[in-house]
Amino acid sequence: MKITQHTAVSIHYRLTNAQGELIESSFDAEPMLYLHGAENMIPGLEAALEGKVAGDKLEVNVDSEQAYGPYHDGLKQEVPLSAFGDIEDIVPGMRFIAETEMGQRPVQVTQVNDDTVTVDGNHPLAGQALTFNVEVLEVRAATEEEIAHGHIHAHGSCGGHEHSHEGGCCGGEGHDHEGGCCSDNSDQPAKEGCDGNGGCGCKH
């Protein structure tokens, strides 16, 4: 089966930057499973996978525009230490939500100075050209439920999600009940719209 709109695709990938440094690899871990054609993937990689089949191996070079976008200097800012209020021990790598020129965004502390802190709201891979070495493992048709949710259900039904994700399960577009994933964990109360049996109760 070819990878086309609304197929469920499982891949292994190795991600390197323009200097050839390894950024991330799935080969020693779980493969990545995604819904093709739902913009769950960076555009350059999704386009390159179109039409491929299980067993295909490909190297995809993606420029920054087709990856995580350009680096915006305006998203990097120096804020006074006093803005962090009671938070002590601010160190590089900490993440906060901050007001930036592009609205509220997650920012990462990149540098701590005497009385200011440098934070950067860019994606860590913004402005970088990336290379993906990909192996296509499996391609199947997505279920109607997966297409409606805009993501893959790796463990069966909607209630099998191990975590609730914003805008995802049941709370996502195309659903008229809010509340995120319906849990099949009895420690958590069933949310409105759930059938209480760990299923979604969604009527598609």
- Contact predicate 68/180, CB 8 Å: no
Q: Which stretch binds Zn ion (CB under 5 A): 67-75, 84-92, 156-164, 190-198?
A: 156-164
**149 scored as a contact of Zn ion (CB under 5 A):** yes
- Contact predicate 37/43, CB 8 Å: no
Q: How far is the CB of 168 from Zn ion (least distance, A)?
A: 6
Site residue total, Zn ion (CB under 5 A): 3
Strand partners, 11: 32, 136
**12 scored as a contact of Zn ion (CB under 5 A):** no
**35 scored as a contact of Zn ion (CB under 5 A):** no
Q: How far is the CB of 159 from Zn ion (least distance, A)?
A: 9
User: Could you give the maximum distance between any two Cα atoms of the chain, in Å?
Assistant: 59
Q: Which strand (E) or helix (H) includes residue 131?
A: strand 130-141
Q: How far is the CB of 190 from Zn ion (least distance, A)?
A: 15
Calpha distance 53→137 (Å, rounded): 8
**36 scored as a contact of Zn ion (CB under 5 A):** no
**142 scored as a contact of Zn ion (CB under 5 A):** no
**194 scored as a contact of Zn ion (CB under 5 A):** no
Q: How far is the CB of 146 from Zn ion (least distance, A)?
A: 7
- Contact predicate 137/11, CB 8 Å: yes
Nearer to Zn ion, 134 or 169 (CB): 169
**169 scored as a contact of Zn ion (CB under 5 A):** yes
Nearer to Zn ion, 173 or 187 (CB): 173
3-state secondary structure of 140: strand
Tell me the residue nearest to Zn ion as measured from the CB: 169
Tokens of residue 58, six digits: 């490909």
Tokens of residue 9, six digits: 């695709």
Q: Which strand (E) or helix (H) includes residue 100?
A: strand 95-100
Instruction: Give the residue, chosen from 11, 62, 130, 158, that forms a contact with Zn ion under the rule CB under 5 A.
Output: 158
Which residue ranges make up the site for Zn ion (CB under 5 A)? Answer: 149, 158, 169
